[in-house]
Structures are given as structure tokens and as C-alpha cells.
Amino acid sequence: MIEIPEAYAIAKQMNRELIGKRIIEVIAVQNPHKMAWYYEDPQDYPNQLLNKTVDAVKNINGIVEIRLGDTRLVFNEGIRFKSSTEKQQLPKKHQLLLRFEDQSYLAAFVQMYGGIFCFKEGTYTNPYYLVQKEKPNPLEKAFDFEYFQSLINRLDTDNISIKAFLATEQRIPGLGNGVLQDILWQANIHPKRKLMSLSDEEIKTLFHAIKDTLKEMARLGGRDTETDLYGNKGGYQTVMSKNNKENICPACRGKIIKQAYMGGSIYYCENCQPE
């Protein structure tokens, strides 16, 4: 899934590859996917995108937004990409394909589920998108400890787990269950632990783990569980994920536990992250 570090890495690559390129062909919904989401009728995307030039690409809290004049093309969730910098055979399966004047292309396809939204700036009022644009990104200075503490202070319940606090209700858009695992391992905090059980020092530790872990993931081009613009895996080697084949914590050599929790899987070290 595209989360904060992947959006950062992919947007950076797109800025390098796509800026100034004019779209000469648009193919939408060539391969229908029941879990591909669009804004309004995707068959109209060619009319909106044809002959538009890429001005900029932004990473916005876990989404990738291509700006083409007053038109926006947004990708989120489980969208994956394939791109060429020269004329190559077009991929056979995709949910959206853009071909440019220099014969390079950008293809987007859904891994499990994901959104591809094309619209005029200011017309897309989906609340999730608006919140993602509004809230500060943990990779930015605006996401400081004072802001993080304000998220805790606004809670109206004491009975919320760390995972629920960090990865639900768009408190921190783009921080999902994927990046959450290594953040909590770095902070030595169990995913099921109640937020209000944390000491002031542990809250500071958690804040710095969020900032530092996401920064390192972004610097290395995303996680090794995800792929970039060219289909390559990210350079950040996750510890708390299925990619840790040995299921051994590198810090203490303890066993890594996988459990189902809140509709997904959590990973934690039995020693470093006591419940």
C-alpha cells in the first residue's frame, strides 16, 4: 500500500521523469477491477487529460498527486506503477495508462484495492482527500511534538490502543498499518498497549520514532514490502513484516510474533515490546 514513505519516493521519481511531458494518449479501465475506485466516470478521463502537460507531482500524506494545469490526477492505497523513459512495449494490464509525446508511458494498476481520481482543482470534496491535504506530514517541520501532543489531547476516550490512535480516523493520514509496525518496534511499544498508559517520556520516544522511522523509510525509497515507480522494491528493510523470514528481532534475538488485530496483522518482538 502507498503510505507516507512510498508517496514521497514515488512523487520524487515522477518529478524527475514526468515534468514537462505532454500526454498524447489516455487509456482508462482497460482491465476492469472491482476494487478500483474512480471519481465520477473514468471513461471521461481521456477528455480531461489528453494534451495536458505535467507541471508538478506532490506527495500528500500517503497520496501521489499529479498536477496538470488546473487538473489533478490522484493515486492512493494499493495503486502500483510501471513506467518507461523510452519507447517500450506497453503493459497489457492496467487501470490507467498515460502515453507521452516522447513515447514514454506511465501505467497504474490495482494490487488489491486503490483509487485513481481525476478532477478539476476545487471540485473534489471527498473528506478523506481534504483531510490529507490539510494535515501536516510527519516528514515536515510542521509535524512537531506540540502538534503530536495536541492529537492526544483531543481524544475523548482513554480506552484506545496505540495502533488505533496512530492508524485510524486519519489522525495522521498516510501512516497506516504497514509503517506502523517498525515505528512501534523502534519505540519499544506494543501495538495493543493503551495510549493512556504511556508515560510522558514514552510519548516523546514514540514521537521521535514516528519522525525518524518515516524519514529513513523515505530516504531509502520506501519499504521493501512495496514497489516504486519502476516496479523496484524500496530500500528500507522492514523488521516487523512478512519480509523478515527468520522472525527474529535483530535487537535482542527474540521471537517476532504475528497476530490478527483490528482487521489486520500486527508484528512485535516478545521481548522488546511487552504488552
Same domain, 118 and 166: no
Given a cut of 80, is residue 85 above it in pLDDT?
Answer: no
pLDDT in tens, 150-179: 999 999 888 999 999 999 999 999 999 999
**pLDDT at position 168, please?**
93
Q: Is 163 exposed, middle or buried (0-12, 13-18, 19+ CB in 10 A)?
A: buried
Sequence-ordered list of residues with C-beta below 8 angstroms from that of 56, at least 6 positions apart, any chain:
15, 19, 66, 67
pLDDT of residue 50 exceeding 90: yes
| The last residue of a domain, from among 86, 112, 134 | 134
Non-local (6+) Cβ contacts of 215 within 8 A are 139
Q: Check: CB of residue 226 under 8 Å from CB of residue 238.
A: no
Same domain, 110 and 201: no
SS3 of 79, please? Answer: strand
> What does the alpha-carbon distance between residue 11 and residue 5 come to, in Å, rounded to a whole number?
10
How far is the C-alpha of 223 from the C-alpha of 185, rounded, in Å?
Answer: 15
Q: Model-level pTM?
A: 0.94
- pLDDT score of 114 more than 80: yes
Task: Determine the average pLDDT of the residues in 235-257.
Answer: 95
Q: How far apart are CA 138 and CA 225, in angstroms?
A: 20
Eight-class DSSP state of 273? S
Report pLDDT for 87.
67
CA distance 158 to 31: 46
Which of 134, 167, 185 is the endpoint of a domain?
A: 134
Q: What pLDDT, in 10s, does the model give residues 94-106? A: 999 999 999 999 9
Task: Look at residue 12 and tell me whether its pLDDT is greater than 90.
Answer: yes
Question: 121 and 19: one domain?
Answer: yes
Instruction: Centre a 10 Å sphere on the Cβ of residue 207 and count the other Cβ atoms it contains.
Output: 19
Residue where one domain finishes, among candidates 134, 167, 199: 134
Q: What's the whole-number mean pLDDT along residues 74-87?
A: 89
Residue 88: pLDDT above 80? no
Cell of 142: 510542521
Q: Percent of the chain having pLDDT more than 70?
A: 99
Is there a domain that residue 140 lies in? no
**Res 76 pLDDT > 80:** yes
